[in-house]
């Protein structure tokens, strides 16, 4: 019998392709990720978009400026207030509309509450992607309290369309401030539970520390923004760099971490929640009185030209680029959404890792699919 | 155990009754079937309680109520679910290996049920009183992985295959430290018979006797057996955030139901072994001190006060060991549920690292220490 020796380099394992999504528990929406696997190790990641493309940018071209606000709520459904705020700011800048001080304060409170809801939901779903189910319910419980407040004051829970050009849709209810104060107190208590259940957990720390390293250079070249980039040491908080609606007068810290890994992204988001609470507390004690909006004409026309406005959404820099031909409808409205740019980071940080790490990476980047597809 | 009526009296009485009117082979056959059915039914009742308990425990840990619509406090929810599963089509994917796909759930169910045979439920209440009892359970429970591998391979699904491969690596690894921690207790007790091991704990459960190696073995066994059952935080075989449902992704209807049932039967068997080896099985809790109050307590635990009662009431004392046995069973199961609903999942390399770098060396050292103890005659 012939004695054949096989060296380890000749032995090859077959790579295979697995479709994660469009219907998959880890993608939280209809993202399809084509993953090439060698056993458990990820060799290539190829995201496919378009499963929830609704043509929002095109639809704005046949609607007035005021009406397009309502479409932006549907983009990133977890930060509808911030999307509305962006659109309102861009229109106000173009049409040179003055916004009352009370409206500005209410807008910032709503923005920060929205950031809290978004991060709370993220916290739950991130822990669920790493395998713990219970945090999901805790995250939803706390988010629910804020959504109730939104419902009382804006009439809606998810797609508020409350922030409009010239101010806000209606004034907040008389009991808004005391209710919000009580709410903030309980949110602070809930934060302790978060740390007890997940932050201090040995398994969770080992699943996130040193995993999914996104260097500062990569973050810059991929156009990452928000907590994802700030966890890589990149200062990119629009609220600090290009303040709007009075963020410059408030005392808050831009949360930056130099860890670059999943743990750093986790820590940044947790700390951002504390900063949001801090911002709201400063505004609550002296909420300006007066008008809540400037009356505008029925049909709003922007002077011909090009306008760009950016805000800090819960996931990063959200921008809108408006081209106006002087008419009542935008010639073109282009959104620069944070999730679309951040999605690019999934491949470089996941290749060579295990498939379980891919889920953890996608979770800490905090992808919201309708925000990418629009 | 000082109770007036023993289970062995009952079984002997039945045996004599049957022998008086039947051929010996027929008696044997009837006894075999009756005993097997009784054990399986008892276990299925346990499973029903476990499923209900899991839902309620999970619910209350997650700020929910758990099932509360079907029946009183949702007690009939499981039956509604079983009816639903039975009415659903058991779908086989087109390109699946039909034979293996159909056999896999049945095989894993049979294997899990076989492990039940040598377990001692109460004094004299054992299906197969064999001198290799614990060895048999260890041998049989390591065969459970074959059913999972068959299911994963035959489904012709990548998720299922990945889940099955993970499960294979995991169960084969954790068998080792689970086995070694069992051997630790076997060495201390000096027998492989489950009844004998329980009898050896009459003067104190092995975890409470003060043997440090026994306590280590208990902790290692709980971790390793949670992993063997594919329960969170070691549920990599069905990691739902990565592999949707792992090895049973393609299963539907009652075939899925059998895998689900199987998970709980495995949990039950593992908890029974743990309570037999470490928590004294059906032995009540005795205080190991020598002063009057402790004696009084121990007398109550041994049901001494029932000796003066009329015979027809003392039948109740038959249930006393069962109360302890099932109490310990569900205590361990509660801990396993607690793990599941609070811990995140490990990654596959961390899982194997935990076993090969920490648990296995620890259990080997543990066993060597116990062996030294026994050679030097230090154990009690």
Top-confidence residue, B336 or B15:
B336
Q: In whole angstroms, how far apart are CA A358 and each of A24, A37, A195?
A: 14, 11, 24
Give how many domains chain A has, as a whole number: 1
- Which segment of A73-77, B109-113, B124-128 scores lowest on mean pLDDT? B124-128
pLDDT of residue A19: 85
B233–A354 C-beta distance less than 8 A: no
pLDDT of residue A117: 92
Task: Report whether pLDDT(B68) > 70.
Answer: yes
What gap in Å lies between CA A134 and CA B345, rounded to an integer? 12
User: Predicted confidence band at B1 (pLDDT cuts at 50, 70, 90)?
Assistant: very low
Question: pTM score, two decimals?
Answer: 0.84
Q: In whole angstroms, how far apart are CA B235 and each of B164, B170, B230, B243, B258?
A: 11, 10, 5, 11, 17
pLDDT of residue A297: 80
Task: Report whether pLDDT(B2) > 50.
Answer: no
Share of chain B above pLDDT 90, in %: 3
Residue B164 contacts A, CB cutoff 8 Å:
no
Residue A169 lies in a domain: yes
B62–A201 C-beta distance less than 8 A: no
Residue A32 lies in a domain: no
Phi-psi category of A151—alpha, beta or left, where left has phi over 0 and alpha has psi -120 to 50? Answer: alpha
Of B58, B63, B241, the CB nearest to A131: B241
pLDDT of residue B5: 62
pLDDT of residue A2: 55
Read off φ and ψ for residue A322, nearest 5 degrees: -110, 130
Give the pair of three-digit tokens for residue A349: 């940080």
Where does residue B69 rank: exposed (0-12), middle (13-18), buried (19+ CB within 10 A)?
A: exposed
Q: What is the CATH number of the domain that holds A163?
A: 1.10.645.10
Residue A58 lies in a domain: yes
In Å, how far from its chain's centre is CA A143? Answer: 15
Residue with tokens 């493309």: A53
Give the pair of three-digit tokens for residue A331: 């010639």
Residue A9 lies in a domain: no
Residue A311 lies in a domain: yes
Q: B151 Cβ partners below 8 Å, 6+ apart?
A: B100, B101, B104, B105, B108, B160, B164, B247, B248, B251, B259
| pLDDT by 10s per residue, chain A, length 374 | 456 666 766 667 778 888 887 888 777 778 888 888 887 888 889 888 888 888 888 888 888 888 888 888 888 888 889 999 998 999 888 888 888 888 888 999 999 999 999 999 999 888 888 888 888 898 888 889 899 999 988 888 888 888 888 888 888 888 888 889 899 988 888 888 888 888 888 888 888 888 888 888 988 999 899 899 999 988 888 888 888 888 888 888 888 888 888 999 999 999 999 999 999 988 888 888 888 888 888 788 888 888 999 899 888 889 999 998 888 888 988 998 898 888 888 889 988 888 888 888 988 888 888 888 88
Residue A131 lies in a domain: yes
pLDDT of residue B334: 92
What gap in Å lies between CA B223 and CA B218, rounded to an integer? 9
Mutate to test the interface with A, among B163, B241, B350 (most CBs of A within 10 A): B241
Residue A39 lies in a domain: no
A354–B241 C-beta distance less than 8 A: no
Task: Report whether pLDDT(B314) > 70.
Answer: no
Q: Inter-axis angle of helices B212-228 and B158-189, to 10 degrees?
A: 160
The contact set of A with B (CB < 8 A) is 16, 18, 24-26, 37, 39-40, 127-134, 136-138, 141, 197-198, 201, 203-204, 206-207, 354-359
Q: Could you tell me the residue range of the domain that residue A171 belongs to?
A: 53-373
pLDDT of residue B3: 47
pLDDT of residue B380: 64
Of B166, B341, B347, the CB nearest to A133: B341
Taking the CA atoms of A139, A141, A146 and A147 in sequence, report the sign of the dihedral they define: positive
Residue A255 lies in a domain: yes
Residue B341 contacts A, CB cutoff 8 Å:
yes
Rounded to two decimals, the ipTM of the complex is: 0.80
Compute the nearest-CA separation of A359 from chain B (Å). Answer: 7
Q: For chain B, what are the domain ranges?
A: 89-376
Task: Report whether pLDDT(B305) > 80.
Answer: no
Of B233, B235, B341, the CB nearest to A134: B341
B241–A130 C-beta distance less than 8 A: yes
Compute the nearest-CA separation of A39 from chain B (Å). Answer: 8
Q: Inter-axis angle of helices B158-189 and B360-376, to 10 degrees?
A: 10
Residue B223 contacts A, CB cutoff 8 Å:
no
Residue B348 contacts A, CB cutoff 8 Å:
yes
User: Predicted confidence band at B237 (pLDDT cuts at 50, 70, 90)?
Assistant: confident
What gap in Å lies between CA A188 and CA A276, rounded to an integer? 11
Residue B347 contacts A, CB cutoff 8 Å:
yes
What gap in Å lies between CA B256 and CA B250, rounded to an integer? 9
């Amino acid at each position: 019998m012939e004695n054949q020796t096989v060296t380890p380099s000749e032995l090859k394992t077959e790579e295979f392709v697995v479709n994660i999504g469009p219907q998959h528990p880890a993608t939280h929406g209809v993202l399809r990720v084509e993953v090439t696997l060698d056993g458990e190790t990820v060799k290539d990641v190829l995201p496919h978009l378009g499963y929830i493309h609704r043509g929002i940018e095109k639809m704005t071209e046949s609607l007035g400026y005021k009406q397009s606000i309502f479409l932006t709520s549907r983009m990133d459904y977890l930060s509808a207030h911030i999307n509305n705020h962006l659109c309102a700011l861009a229109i106000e800048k173009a049409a040179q509309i003055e916004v009352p001080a009370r409206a500005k304060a209410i807008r910032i409170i709503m923005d920060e509450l929205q950031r809290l809801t978004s991060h709370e939901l993220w916290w739950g779903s991130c822990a669920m992607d790493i395998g713990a189910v219970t945090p999901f319910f805790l995250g939803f419980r706390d988010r629910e309290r804020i959504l109730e407040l939104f419902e009382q004051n804006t009439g809606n829970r998810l797609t508020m369309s409350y922030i409009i050009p010239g101010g806000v849709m209606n004034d907040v209810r008389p009991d808004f401030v005391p209710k919000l104060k009580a709410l903030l107190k309980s949110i602070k208590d809930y934060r302790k539970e978060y740390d007890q259940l997940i932050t201090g957990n040995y398994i969770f720390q080992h699943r996130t520390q040193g995993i999914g390293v996104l260097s500062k250079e990569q973050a810059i070249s991929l156009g990452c923004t928000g907590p994802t980039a700030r966890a890589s040491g990149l200062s990119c908080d629009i609220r600090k760099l290009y303040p709007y609606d009075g963020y410059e007068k408030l005392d808050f810290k831009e949360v930056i971490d130099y860890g670059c890994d999943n743990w750093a992204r986790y820590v940044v988001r947790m700390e951002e929640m504390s900063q949001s609470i801090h911002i709201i507390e400063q505004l609550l004690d002296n909420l300006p009185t007066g008008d809540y909006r400037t009356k505008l004409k029925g049909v709003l026309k922007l002077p011909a030209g090009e306008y760009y406005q950016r805000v800090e959404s819960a996931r990063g820099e959200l921008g809108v680029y408006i081209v106006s031909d002087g008419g009542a409808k935008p010639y073109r409205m282009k959104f620069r959404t944070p999730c679309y740019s951040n999605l690019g980071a999934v491949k470089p940080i996941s290749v060579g890792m295990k498939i379980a790490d891919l889920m953890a990476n996608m979770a800490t980047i905090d992808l919201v699919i309708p925000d990418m597809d629009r | 155990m000082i109770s007036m009526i023993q289970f062995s009296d009952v079984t002997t009485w039945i045996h004599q009754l049957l022998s008086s009117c039947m051929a010996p082979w027929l008696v044997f056959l009837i006894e075999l079937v009756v005993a097997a059915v009784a054990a399986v039914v008892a276990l299925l009742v346990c499973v029903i309680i476990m499923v209900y308990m899991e839902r309620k425990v999970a619910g209350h840990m997650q700020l929910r109520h758990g099932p509360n619509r079907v029946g009183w406090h949702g007690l009939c929810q499981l039956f509604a679910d079983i009816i639903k599963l039975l009415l659903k089509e058991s779908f086989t994917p087109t390109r699946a290996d039909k034979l293996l796909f159909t056999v896999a759930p049945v095989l894993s169910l049979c294997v899990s049920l076989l492990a039940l045979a040598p377990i001692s439920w109460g004094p004299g209440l054992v299906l197969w009183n064999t001198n290799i009892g614990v060895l048999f359970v260890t041998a049989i429970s390591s065969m459970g992985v074959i059913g999972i591998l068959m299911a994963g391979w035959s489904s012709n699904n990548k998720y299922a295959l990945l889940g099955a491969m993970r499960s294979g690596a995991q169960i084969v690894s954790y068998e080792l430290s689970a086995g070694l921690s069992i051997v630790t207790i076997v060495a201390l007790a000096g027998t492989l018979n489950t009844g004998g091991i329980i009898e050896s704990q009459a003067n104190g459960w092995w975890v409470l006797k003060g043997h440090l190696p026994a306590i280590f073995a208990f902790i290692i066994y709980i971790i390793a057996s949670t992993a063997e059952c594919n329960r969170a935080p070691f549920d990599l075989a069905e990691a739902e955030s990565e592999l949707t449902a792992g090895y049973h992704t393609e299963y539907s209807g009652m075939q899925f139901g059998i895998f689900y049932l199987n998970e709980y039967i495995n949990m039950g068997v593992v908890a029974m072994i743990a309570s037999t080896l470490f928590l004294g099985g059906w032995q009540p809790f005795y205080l190991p001190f020598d002063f009057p109050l402790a004696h009084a307590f121990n007398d109550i635990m041994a049901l001494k006060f029932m000796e003066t009662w009329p015979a027809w009431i003392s039948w109740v004392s038959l249930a006393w060991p069962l109360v302890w046995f099932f109490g310990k069973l569900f205590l361990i199961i509660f801990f396993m549920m607690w793990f599941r609903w609070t811990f995140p999942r490990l990654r596959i390399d961390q899982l194997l690292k935990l076993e090969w770098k920490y648990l296995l060396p620890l259990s080997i050292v543990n066993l060597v220490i116990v062996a030294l103890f026994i050679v030097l005659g230090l154990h009690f």
